[in-house]
């Protein structure tokens, strides 16, 4: 599995919107992350981030674009999260016959005879049978657009999941997002060796 943050956008715009409810003068230059007013609203945003019921709706405006390559069995779970998320994917209908199937096409190695069988289906352009027989470990790449509030929901629900791919997904984002403190109440990390592991193993 591979997870990469392509872009984050909208934090200061979200904070500007939040400042309206509290009559705090936000800096006119949205690119300036400084000043007493900015620090006040930023501090308030950390307190509100952990509250649901509309108090943390400003997090919906903090957008994140992700590049994810993951097995089909993980995508079937991720597809639960539709609200606040859009996805564009490598369509098996359009791409499955174009490239050789190798061990690198799957999350874990397949028996050689299974891989040969699938590759023969591909070479013979038997797309229907190939799609029916394709293992759940087949890796598919998608570009995902989501937001901080949706990520908080995902983190809360999938923390400690028995599928290791969820650990990779969560910890990659925890260490790569610009504002991980918006998720600290969910992700309580107790062991330094666990922290070091993910820092050393998640991709840049």
DSSP string of 18-72, one letter each residue: HHHHTT----SSTT---SHHHHHHHHHHHHHHT-TTTTTGGGGGSEEEEEEEEEH
pLDDT at 38 over 70: yes
Q: Where are the domains of the chain?
A: 2-68+142-201, 69-141
Q: For the segment 44-64, what is each residue's pLDDT rounded down to a tens digit?
A: 999 999 887 778 999 999 999
Q: Could you give the CA distance from residue 52 to residue 156 in angstroms, rounded to a whole number?
A: 12
pLDDT reported for residue 46: 93
Q: What's the confidence (pLDDT) of residue 194?
A: 54
- Residue 135, pLDDT score: 95
pLDDT tens for 107-164 read 999 999 999 999 999 999 999 999 999 999 999 999 999 999 999 999 999 988 889 8
Whole-number mean pLDDT of the chain?
88
């Amino acid at each position: 599995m591979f997870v990469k943050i392509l872009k984050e956008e909208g934090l200061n715009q979200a904070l500007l919107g939040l400042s309206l409810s509290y009559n705090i003068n936000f800096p006119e230059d949205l690119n300036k992350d400084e000043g007493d007013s900015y620090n006040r609203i930023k501090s308030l945003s950390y307190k509100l981030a952990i509250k649901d019921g509309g108090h943390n709706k400003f997090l919906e405006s903090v957008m994140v674009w992700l590049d994810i390559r993951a097995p089909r069995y993980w995508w079937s779970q991720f597809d639960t999260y539709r609200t606040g998320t859009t996805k564009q994917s490598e369509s098996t209908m359009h791409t499955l016959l174009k490239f050789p199937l190798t061990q690198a096409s799957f999350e874990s190695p397949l028996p050689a005879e299974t891989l040969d069988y699938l590759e023969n289906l591909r070479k013979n352009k038997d797309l229907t049978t190939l799609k029916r027989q394709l293992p759940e470990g087949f890796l598919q790449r998608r570009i995902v657009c989501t937001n901080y509030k949706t990520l908080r929901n995902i983190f809360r629900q999938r923390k400690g999941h028995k599928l290791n791919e969820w650990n990779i997904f969560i910890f990659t984002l925890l260490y790569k997002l610009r504002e991980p403190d918006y998720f600290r109440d969910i992700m309580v990390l107790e062991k330094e060796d666990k922290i070091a592991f993910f820092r050393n193993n998640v991709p840049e």
